[in-house]
Amino acid sequence: MKKVEAIIRTSKFEDVKDALKSIGIDFFSYWEAAGVGNEHSRGHHSYRGTVYDTQYISRIFLSIVLKDANVEKTVDCIEKAAFTGEVGDGMIFTYNIEESVRISNGARGEASTAGPGDLS
C-alpha cells in the first residue's frame, strides 16, 4: 500500500476533488495548510491601501491511502487537475505504508482499504 500526499493551490481543490471522484477516489482526507515557498517574495505588500502578508501561502493538503496498483493513476490525476503552469502549483509525495487497520471491523492491510475509493 502507498500513501499519496499532495499540497495544492486552494483554488484548484474543487478541480482535483472532481478529478479524483471521476477515477473512483471518493474518500480522502484534506485540510487547509499554509507554507512558505520560493514563488513569492516574502514580506508585506500593499494593494489599494490594504497591506497583505505574502509570507505565507494558503494551500490544501490531501492525504490518500491506496493499493500499489492505483498509485500512478491517482498521482497523474492530481497532477493534471492541479496544473496551472505557474510556479507554486504544489507537490505530490508517495510513501510506503507498512500496515493499516480498519477500526470498525479489524480488517488489516489492503483489505482495510476496500470499499469507497477502491479502484480495483
**β-strand 44-47 against 50-53: which pairing, if any?**
antiparallel
Q: Which three cell numbers stand for residue 112?
A: 482495510
Amino acid in the structure at residue 35: G
Average pLDDT over residues 82-105: 92
* 3-state secondary structure (DSSP) of residue 108: strand
Would you state the pLDDT for residue 114?
A: 74
Average pLDDT over residues 61-66: 95
pTM for this model (two decimals): 0.79
Distances (CA, A) of 9 to 34, 59, 114, 115: 10, 5, 29, 28
* Sequence-ordered list of residues with C-beta below 8 angstroms from that of 107, at least 6 positions apart, any chain: 101, 114
Q: Give me the percent of the chain exceeding a pLDDT of 70.
A: 78
Q: What is the largest CA-CA distance in the chain?
A: 58
Place of cell 499532495: 6
Amino acid in the structure at residue 26: D
Which sequence spans correspond to the domains of the chain?
Answer: 2-113
- Of the given ranges (17-21, 39-43, 93-97), which has the lowest mean pLDDT? 39-43
Which class is domain 2-113? alpha beta
